[in-house]
Chains A and B, each alone.
Chain A
C-alpha cells in the first residue's frame, strides 16, 4: 500500500464513522424533536445565567430531547451574538440576548459582528430595572439629598455599576442629565463586582439592577428605582417617576434566534417560553430574586427593540459615544 492508499484508507474509515455519528436522523415534523441549544453570552453566575437556570427544568418538559446550556462569553455578549447569526436557523439554537446591549454595541462599536435587527426576537421574558442604592449607614436618606450633594460637588459623587454602555451606565447618565448634576460613573466588570465597592465604601452609590438590591436588604438602602411602578418585592422603594423624574430604564433579557428562522417555528419557541414563564414555580423564583417578568412575544419584542434603537441612536449622538 502506498501513501495514497494509506490516506484514502483513513479518510474512508473516518468519514463513515463520523457520518454515522453526526448525521442527524430524518427530522420528524413536530417541533421540538431535537435538543435545544441555549447559548448564554455572559459569565456563569450572572443574571442571564441565573434566569436560564430557572428556566432550564421547565423547558425540559417541552424539549424532551434535552436542553443544553452552552456559554459563548466575550465582548460583553457580542462574541456569542455574532456566532448566533451564523448558526443554523432551524429553531434548535437560540441565545439569550440583552437590551440595551444588542442595540448599543452595533451603534457604538462600528463593527460588533452583528446588526441589532439580525437577531430575530423570539421572546423578552424579564427585565431588571435600574435601582439607585447607597449603604445603610450612608448620609443620604433620600434621592433628594443625594442630588443636592452632587449639585454642590460636581463629579465627587461616585456611582458604580456594571459595565460601560450598559443600562447602568445609561441610567446614570440619564439621571445626571435630568437632575442637572455631574455624577461620576465607575464601571465594574459585572454587577457582582460592584457590590464590594459599595460595601467597602469605595464608591458612594450604585446604579445597579433590582436583583442586587434584593440580595442585600440588610446592607443597602435603595433610593429610587427606574421602573413604571413599584416592584412588589421592594415595596418601599419609590420610583423615579414618583419623585419627579421620568426615567424608566433597565436591562431587558430575552431569547433570540438566528436570522432566517421560519416565523412559525419562532412562534412555537415563543409559545414554549410563554408557558415556562407562566409556571408558578418560575414566577416565584423570579419575583423573589428581584426580576420583573415581561411577556413580550415575537412581534411585541421586535417592536420594542425597534423603539429602543430609535431612542438610543439619539442618546448616543448626544453623549458622543458613536464610533467615528
Chain B
C-alpha cells in the first residue's frame, strides 16, 4: 500500500496537478462562500471541463473543488449569518456572533484550521480505513436511518437558543414542509395546493437562504437605514498565531469532530449536512461551559467546520469501495469515474491505483492549501464586508440570494419561495422560533420518512410491521443514543433535584 502512496505522490507532484489543486481549491472556496451555490453544483458545473483532461488531472480538480467548497461555506456563515453551503449551518451559531463582536478574523482562522484538520483526517481514513468503514456503512438499513433521523432531532436542545419546546415545534414545521411534493413511497402528490410547480417540493437551499439570509438582511434594515453594519473589524496584531495555537490546543474537539464527520459521511444519504450539527451538539455537551456556546465561542466554529470537511473524505469511502456515493458530489464524481472507464471496487485500488491514490492525496493537499488561502483571503473578506455600508451590503446580498435560489434548480418558483420563507422566517424569529431547528426538520424529514415507511414495508413478515424498527442491534444502539442525547440536558438538574431538597430552580432546566 505504501508503494501506491508513493506512486500517488509522484503523480501529484507534477506541475499541472499542483496547479489544479490550487486553482480548484480557490475556485471551490469562492463557490462555497456564495450562498445558494452548493458543492454539488460546483462539481457538476465543472465536469464538462474535465473532458478535455486525462482522468488524473480531471479528478484532482474535482476533488480540490469539493474540498474547497465545503470549507468556503464558513465565510458567509461567519460574515453574513448565511451558510454558504448547508454543511456550514452550525458555523453561524458561534461564527456570526464572533463577527459581530469584531472577532470575525479569529472565527475564520478557527474555521480554516478546523477544516484543514478535518479534511486531512477524512482523507487519512479514506486511504487506510476504507474497507472496515464501508462495511459499517452497509449495516445501516431503513430502520437504522429512521433512528439516525430521530437522533438528529434530539440535537435541537443545542440549537434552540431559548425554548426547547419551540425548537421541537419548529422542527415539526420543517418536517411538514419537507413532505410537500411527491411522497418517497407510493408517489402521492402531497400539499402542492394544485400547483405542478410545487411537485418538486421545497429545496433545502431555498429554505436555507430564506430562513437565514433574508431575516438577517431585514434586521440590518430594521436597525436603521445607513447605520453601521452588524459586522465589525478590529485590527489586532498577532491574532493569527494566537488563534492558531488556541485552535490546535483544542485537541479533543478536533479529533472528536473529525470522527463524527467521517462516520456520518460514510452513511449514504444521511447527508454531510447533519455532521456539523451533530458535532456542534457533542462539543457543547461535553464542554465545561456549555452556556457559552452560541455567544461567540471559537470551539463551536471549530467543531462544525472540522466535521464538515471530514465528510469529504468519509463520503468517498463507500464510493471507492462499493461504488455507493456517500454524498451528492460523490455521485457526480462517480459519473466521471464511469466516463473514464473506471469501476469502483478492488480494481480501483490495485490496477488503477495510480489514479485512485493521486486523487485521494489531492484531496489531502487541497485541505492543506486551504489554510494560507483561507487565512489571507479571509482577512481581506472580513475587512471588505465590515466596511461595506448597508446600502451596498443589503442589495449585494439580495442579488446573491436571488441568483442562488434560482440557480439551484433553474426554477422561478424557488426564488419566490425563498422570499416567502424569508418573511416567514423573520416573523417566526420575532415569535421565538429560531431557524436552525426548522432547517434541521427539513433535512431530517425525508430521512425519517423514508426509513419509517421502508421499515414498515420490510416488516410485512412480522405480526406487526412496526417491529422491523426494533429488530436489529444497531437500531437499539441508535435508540439508546437518541434517548441519551434527549435526556442529557435534564440529567444535570435532575441530579440537583436529588441533592438539594429545595427542588428545581426556575432557570435550571434550560
Contact = CB atoms under 8 A, between A and B. Distances in A.
A278 to B, nearest CB: 19
A184 interface: yes
B184 to A, nearest CB: 6
A78 B196 contact: yes
A44 B330 CA distance: 10
Contacts of A165: 187
A187 interface: yes
B493 interface: no
Interface stretch (A110-118, A124-132, A228-236): A110-118
B324 A197 contact: no
Contact of A45 (B140, B184, B185, B335): B335
B331 A44 contact: yes
Contacts of B184: 164, 187, 189
Contact of A156 (B268, B339, B460): B460
A265 interface: no
Q: Which of A50, A165, A186 has the most CB of B within 10 A?
A: A186
Given A192-B331, A202-B142, A75 B268 contact: no
A43 B335 CA distance: 11
B48 A158 contact: no
Nearest to B343: A215
Nearest to B414: A74
- How big is chain B's contact interface, by range? 35 or more
B431 interface: no
B172 interface: no
B40 A82 contact: no
Contact of A164 (B186, B325, B332, B460): B186
- How big is chain A's contact interface, by range? 35 or more
Contacts of A75: 181-182, 196, 199-201
Contacts of B322: 195-196, 199
B457 A158 contact: yes
Nearest to B51: A57
A268 interface: no
B140 A200 contact: yes
Contacts of B182: 75-76, 78
Interface in B321-360: 322-325, 328, 330-332, 334-335, 338-339, 341, 343-345
Interface string A195-207: 1110111110000
Given A187-B185, A199-B322, A50 B461 contact: no
B410 A45 contact: no
Contacts of A193: 268-269
A211 to B, nearest CB: 9
The 4 closest A-B pairs by CB, nearest first: A74-B200, A113-B196, A45-B331, A202-B141
Given A44-B332, A45-B332, A215-B343, 9 more contacts: A44-B40, A53-B335, A56-B48, A72-B409, A83-B410, A110-B189, A164-B185, A184-B457, A216-B323
12 contacts: A56-B51, A74-B203, A82-B197, A112-B199, A155-B461, A158-B458, A186-B454, A188-B454, A195-B322, A195-B323, A202-B141, A216-B323
Interface of A: 43-46, 49-50, 53-54, 56-57, 69-76, 78-79, 82-83, 108-114, 153, 155-156, 158, 163-165, 184-189, 192-193, 195-197, 199-203, 215-216, 218, 285, 288-289, 323
